[in-house]
Amino acid sequence: MITPNPRAAFARVLCSLLLLPFLSSLTLAQPGRGSISGLVTDQTSAIVPGAKVVAEENSTGVKRSTVTTGSGLYSFISLAPGIYQVTAEAKGFQTVVQKNITVTVDQVSAVNITLPVGAVSEVITVNEATSLVETTNSTVGQLIS
């Protein structure tokens, strides 16, 4: 039977404890990410809550969307570095597209958007009576009085 060497066991434990912080930092390392955030307002600088905001990465076409808060704020976190396009739209406003937004590692790109008031649109409602022509039956018939 082989008896364990206490010094060798102690040396192995000590090396493990010394290397543990370095190994854990390597396993937890992730590629750097960036973010886009900003404020959506109208032309009078009033906030626009509930606006839909979409961030699209130009190279991959991947889209992420969010809705502005009650304070008009939006944020996209943990974005891959690259060039993005941000689109904002809200009911009663024109859609605005901000192009060529650069996202870099560990940086926040601030993109404040001003939405112009949209054109007034008309809603036309057609109340149509049902047709007297039966389109589901091809029988030819005639009414004789």
According to the model, what pLDDT value does residue 33 have? 92
According to the model, what pLDDT value does residue 118 have? 83
Mean pLDDT of all residues belonging to the chain: 77
- Give the CA distances from residue 21 to residues 12, 54, 98, in Å, rounded to whole numbers and listed in that order: 15, 39, 43
Q: What is the CA radius of gyration of the chain?
A: 31
pLDDT digits (tens, 9 = 90+) for 39-86: 999 999 999 999 999 999 999 999 999 999 999 999 999 999 999 999
Q: Is residue 39 within a helix (H) or strand (E), and if so which, with residue range?
A: strand 34-42
Average pLDDT over residues 35-39: 96
Q: Taking 80 as the threshold, does the pLDDT of residue 2 lie above it?
A: no
Confidence of residue 32 (pLDDT cuts 50, 70, 90): confident
Location of structure tokens 């060798």: 8
Q: Taking 80 as the threshold, does the pLDDT of residue 17 lie above it?
A: no
Q: Taking 50 as the threshold, does the pLDDT of residue 100 lie above it?
A: yes
Q: How many helices (H) and strands (E) does the chain have?
A: 1, 8
CATH numbers and ranges of domains, the chain: 34-115 (2.60.40.1120)
Q: What percent of the chain clears pLDDT 70, i.e. is strictly above it?
A: 60
Q: Taking 70 as the threshold, does the pLDDT of residue 95 lie above it?
A: yes
Task: Please enumerate in sequence order all residues whose Cβ is within 8 A of that of 64, keeping only pairs 6 or more positions apart, or say none.
Answer: 54, 55, 56, 76, 79
